[in-house]
Amino acid sequence: MTSMIEWKNDAGVVTLTLNDPDASANTMNGAYVEAMGRTVERLVAEKALLKGVIVTSAKSTFFAGGNLQQLSQIRPSDAAQVFETVEEVKRQLRAVETLGVPVVAAINGSALGGGLEIALACHHRIVADDNRIELGVPEVTLGLLPGGGGVTRTVRMLGLQDALMKVLLQGQRMKPAHALSVGIVDEVVPAEDLLDAARRWITSYSRELQGDPKQPWDRDGYKIPGGTPASPKLAAFLPAFPANLRKQLKGAPYPAPRAIMSAAVEGSQVDFETASRIESRYFVSLATGQIAKNMIQAFFFDMQSINAGGSRPAGVPAYRARRVGVLGAGMMGAGIAYVCAKAGIEVVLKDVSLEAAARGKEYSAKLLAKQVGKGRMTASDVEAFLRRITPTGDPNDLAGCDLVIEAVFEDGGLKQKVFAEIAGVVEPDALLCSNTSTLPITALADGIDRPDDFIGMHFFSPVDRMPLVELIVGAKTSDRAIAQAYDVVRQIRKTPIVVNDSRGFFTSRVFGTLVMEGAAMVAEGVDPVMIERAATQAGFPAPPLAMLDEVTLTLPQKIRDAARAAGDSAGAFDDHPGMAVTDRLVNEFGRRGKAAGAGFYDYPADGPKRLWPGLWEHFPVKAEIPLIDLQERMLFAMALEAVKCLDEGVLRSVPDANIGSIFGIGFPPLHGGALQYVNAYGPSAFAERSRELATTYGERFRPPALLVRKAAAGEIFG
């Protein structure tokens, strides 16, 4: 049987090469535990004859970490067994670190999570100087903690404060130079010199000068850098820590950061073995819980599916844009020009005049100046970047463009006009995209030459920071256009989801149900402070009334009025109880939202926004609704709309729903996205609870047909 760990003894120096024969990456699966068990036995048996041990990998990543497939299937009843497996992995690593022979990690590729934990158990860590390599323990981003010794060792290596802030709590992924400056690796060397450098370290290891090879924490008189919670400096810092963490999480129930902090602080006050066991216990409590499963589903499996092509039609050759014409250099156009130029694409940025276009280019200059300020770019990088953006007022300057992204005012006639202006100018098969946020793509395409090459490419604001792009397929959009648009989004390093045309597409439709639910609660007489607090404590990055102010209170009116004019107002908030509130705020009090300086909130020039006191006067508090009902109404409204989108064929896949709802509209990441929320609840229990909400709060919660079918069949969305 081929082992996952290859053993090669070269004159007393053993090289252990991690190389899972059955997978493209090494993970901490059963084969690893078994191979490591045998390797440790052999190391112990032969240690008198060994000069040193090198741990390296034959894969492009050093080691990919925990096996997420296995982790996501853990049930609460597996707790004892999971604890035992984790402890076994740690006993093995502990045996390596206390072998009495110098052990060095030669890190040839990314070492994340369990990969870094293996390296941390070595006495010395050398990493290849390659910017594709990432090091860190990102477990927290999957609702977990590094349970293979990651908490215990980083605390002992760096001290509590640095371990928590620089490594553990945000799960930073570090390039080699960054990892060196933080102190989790000891050397960065040219890739071709990696194994020689490891051998040199072993040869130069001197027992006379350095004593027996041991970790710092196994030496006599060792003290954790920066002290323990009992020392004065930390005693001043630690009490503020839980409060800061609470503030950062805004009361949302993320268990991983809290568990990491507890494991680190408790572990720093006891010996290594006890600390390690404490860490295992916290790991098991997270791994057996639902939140880790939700986060693994969304941030690992769903992202993997999208990165692997997701809803991209197969069979269309890969596409790379060379020269993009961006029509409209306002807020969105300027941001789109920036992200395209950043990806190396030549940009022609067109507005009504050269001056207006130049203002759009200025936006990039401002963002780049910040990068220079942070030392991330040089003046010559900036110059080269800006040279890629050509501002213009003349449509003829779009000659040679193989891609057009339109972002002029939200006016269908104007959009069709600007496409007509460039029709004979750009490449004859150029891909044509519109960043419209509300206009149906099929209707817009009717006035456009080559409707089969036309697609919605919906960016989110601010474009440089928001990772999602929603592609909207019109009735005539070809598979070629979908695939090319998908490739463009990947080219500019964003995440694409693909949806079929519908009013509000997918993201705005689902977003609308959340903010209007907030408005409906105001109508019922729920205290607005409670509405906002319920949302942030449920994990929404921003609460509904504040968000409604951002998008303006006239938006729901516009959507309803346009739908009425088109003779199809079902689902366009026409009968939504929240409309009474937004209508009154706009029509009676002239409060149109944040841009107008007044909405649900006041926006004083000299301080932070605060809820408008008039709300309590005009919408007196009279409803005492349990917090859980407020929270579930928001979550259910969104999830039910996502189910409807799937049922109507607006959504093409479940990963698109989960990722789109988290990255586009702030569905709480701890639930793993709108449809994962239903799956985790259990479709049958979810349908039952929807019926209850419908009876108490309104028919909009009545379970749609697809949910009823799934519940009856005992199936999840997958």
Among 273, 341, 598, 695, residue whose Cα is nearest residue 333: 341
Separation CA 399–CA 327 (nearest Å) = 13
Beta carbon of residue 597, minimum distance to ligand NAI (angstroms, whole number)? 17
Distance of CA 70 to the CA centre of its chain: 21
Burial of 479 (0-12, 13-18, 19+ CB in 10 A): middle
> Residue by residue, what is the 3-state secondary structure of 332-356?
HHHHHHHHHHHCCCEEEEECCCHHH
Pick the closer one to ligand NAI by CB: 201 or 459.
459
Among 156, 28, 36, residue whose Cα is nearest residue 91: 36
Pick the closer one to ligand NAI by CB: 153 or 361.
361
Pick the closer one to ligand NAI by CB: 350 or 576.
350
Amino acid at 496: P
Within 10 angstroms of residue 240's Cβ, the number of other Cβ atoms is: 10
Beta carbon of residue 611, minimum distance to ligand NAI (angstroms, whole number)? 23
Pick the closer one to ligand NAI by CB: 67 or 436.
436
Separation CA 376–CA 398 (nearest Å) = 32
Beta carbon of residue 561, minimum distance to ligand NAI (angstroms, whole number)? 16
Beta carbon of residue 356, minimum distance to ligand NAI (angstroms, whole number)? 5
Tokens 């409707």 sit on residue: 451
Pick the closer one to ligand NAI by CB: 323 or 458.
458
- 514-537 b/e with 16+ CB inside 10 Å = b? bbbbbbbbbbbebbbebbbbbbbb
SS3 199: helix
Separation CA 130–CA 26 (nearest Å) = 19
Beta carbon of residue 352, minimum distance to ligand NAI (angstroms, whole number)? 5
Kindly state the tokens that stand for 330.
Answer: 């306002």
Contact between 514 and 613 under an 8 Å Cβ cutoff? The reply is no
Contact between 128 and 191 under an 8 Å Cβ cutoff? The reply is yes
Beta carbon of residue 175, minimum distance to ligand NAI (angstroms, whole number)? 32
DSSP letter string, 656-713: HHHHHHHHHH---GGGTSHHHHHHHH-HHHHHHHHHHHHHHH-GGGSPPHHHHHHHHH
Pick the closer one to ligand NAI by CB: 116 or 473.
473
- 162-173 b/e with 16+ CB inside 10 Å = b? bbbebbbbebbb
Pick the closer one to ligand NAI by CB: 354 or 414.
414
The number of residues in the chain equals: 718
Beta carbon of residue 446, minimum distance to ligand NAI (angstroms, whole number)? 17
Exactly one of 123, 124, 178, 458 is catalytic; which is it? 458
Q: Interface with ligand NAI by CB under 6 A: which residues?
A: 327-333, 350-352, 356, 407-410, 414, 418, 435-437, 458-459, 461
Phi and psi of 496, rounded to 5°?
A: -90, 140
Beta carbon of residue 607, minimum distance to ligand NAI (angstroms, whole number)? 25
Separation CA 111–CA 407 (nearest Å) = 41
Pick the closer one to ligand NAI by CB: 552 or 631.
552
Separation CA 355–CA 349 (nearest Å) = 11
Pick the closer one to ligand NAI by CB: 297 or 477.
477
Residue 4 makes CB contacts below 8 A (sequence gap 6+) with 18, 19, 20, 21, 26, 31, 32, 34, 35
Closest CB to ligand NAI: residue number = 330
Beta carbon of residue 511, minimum distance to ligand NAI (angstroms, whole number)? 11
Q: Which parts of 575-626 fold into alpha helices (H)?
A: 579-587, 614-618
Beta carbon of residue 658, minimum distance to ligand NAI (angstroms, whole number)? 21
Residue 487 makes CB contacts below 8 A (sequence gap 6+) with 312, 318, 319, 320
Among 28, 52, 37, 55, residue whose Cα is nearest residue 149: 28
Cis omega (within 30 of 0) on the bond before 138? no
- 689-718 b/e with 16+ CB inside 10 Å = b? bbeebbeebbebbebbebbbebbeeeeebe
Beta carbon of residue 564, minimum distance to ligand NAI (angstroms, whole number)? 20
Beta carbon of residue 328, minimum distance to ligand NAI (angstroms, whole number)? 3
Contact between 348 and 323 under an 8 Å Cβ cutoff? The reply is yes
CA-to-CA separations, 464 to 321, 494, 659, in angstroms, rounded? 18, 10, 18
Pick the closer one to ligand NAI by CB: 439 or 654.
439
Beta carbon of residue 342, minimum distance to ligand NAI (angstroms, whole number)? 18
Among 26, 149, 32, 163, residue whose Cα is nearest residue 98: 149
Pick the closer one to ligand NAI by CB: 592 or 671.
592
Separation CA 94–CA 149 (nearest Å) = 9
DSSP letter string, 98-158: TSSS-EEEEE-S-EETHHHHHHHTSSEEEEE--TT--EE-GGGGGT---TTTHHHHHHHHH
Kindly state the tokens that stand for 246.
Answer: 């609470």
Pick the closer one to ligand NAI by CB: 151 or 665.
665
Separation CA 330–CA 320 (nearest Å) = 25
Pick the closer one to ligand NAI by CB: 358 or 523.
358
Active site residue 576: no
Give catalytic residues, as residue numbers.
458
